[in-house]
Structures are given as C-alpha cells and as structure tokens.
A = this chain, B = another copy of it.
Amino acid sequence: MQLSPSLTQLIEALRCLPGIGPKSAQRIAFHLLERDRHGGTQLGQALTRAMAQIGHCQTCRTFCEAPQCDICLSVKRQDNRILCVVESPTDVLAIEQTGQYQGQYFVLMGHLSPLDGIGPKEIGLDVLEARLAERLFDEVILATNPTVEGETTAHFVAELCHKYHVTPSRIAHGMPVGGELDLVDGMTLKHAFSGRRAIARDQE
C-alpha cells in the first residue's frame, strides 16, 4: 500500500525530532491526523515561524528575535560588571531559574572540539574577546559543562581573561545536593574533596 505523498513526507520530516524513529514518526503522524489536526496545524506554523525568525543576540549569542536580548539590554545587569560563559541557551535558562545570578551571559553555542573542526572562532571567542577588551567586566564565571571539552574551553577562555586583566572563575564541582556518596563517580568525589571548604565557627 502506498501512503499518500503528503503523509509520506510528514512521516519522513518528523524524523528530524530527537529520538524519533520510523515507527514513532508514523504513530505521531496518524495521531495528529486522527485526533489533533488543529494542534498539528499550529505546530506547523509555529515551527515555520520560529525557524525563520529566531536568530542570535548580537551581544551574547543566545536565541533572540530582536538584535539584542532582554538580559543584554538590562542596565542593572550591565552595572554588575560580571559575565557568565555557558555552552548553550538552555544553560542560561537553567541559571536564570535559580534566580541567584544577576550578571550578563555569553553563550558559546558549543564547545572547543578541534577534531570536529570547532575552533575558537566557531564558538564566538572573537566576539567574546572584543567584549573583554572593552573592560566591561570585573569577573568572568566559566560555567561550561564539566566534560573534557567543557574544561578545555573553560581553560582557553580563562587565558583570554588573564590577557585582558579580568578575573576568571570556575563554577564549583562536587557532590550534587541530595546525591549519595557511594553512588557518585570517583571524579566528582575527587573534586568534592579537593574543593572542600573550612566550616566557620557559629557566631554566638
């Protein structure tokens, strides 16, 4: 049996979604056609619009429809003279949700990975360097992922900071809150020990 051309194309196109194979794609296509055409149409329009209109903030490189994002435009955050370097826009989201950080961001949109042809320029380090040269920041927090590539990238950016006399700092690595000591990997435990902090005497 030949499926109709639009249906075949839809099933094929659905496979661009992460984790969706041919069977799931078929199930989703039939689900939308049978039960949620309105939702399917809205998703189609939202996708078309989002893919065409969402670009990158000129200053921090996060996803943004305007030339600059709200965070970069905030005068209050500019006054704090602190920059946080992350790998992806989802990291910005995660940090913003903690409500603890009130500085600006720089989103690398990846990490250094010379074997894949991703060098400093591909992750926007030239843009970052230009911002550092403007002497806008007192501190740069390196919040790349604690992976080999993330560490390498953090190291590279730290060197860049030293060049422009800005203090680089790295987010703490250690036991995740609620984690269990015997279930955590050795590397994390090693970081947790080497990064230990003295406990101050309670004020009475």
Contacts and interface: CB of A to CB of B under 8 A. Distances in A.
Contacts of A131: none
Nearest to A37: B51
Of A2, A9, A16, most buried by chain B (CB within 10 Å of CB) is A16
Q: Is the interface of A mostly helix, strand, loop or mixed?
A: helix
A47 interface: yes
B44 A32 contact: no
Contact of A31 (B18, B43, B52, B93): B18
Give the interface size bracket for A toward B: 35 or more
Contact of A50 (B33, B53, B63, B69): B33
Contacts of A34: 88-89, 109
A48 B48 contact: yes
Of A2, A10, A41, A66, most buried by chain B (CB within 10 Å of CB) is A10
A44 B39 contact: no
A203 interface: no
Interface of A: 1-7, 9-10, 12-14, 16-18, 26-34, 36-37, 39-54, 63-66, 69-71, 88-90, 92-93, 96-97, 109
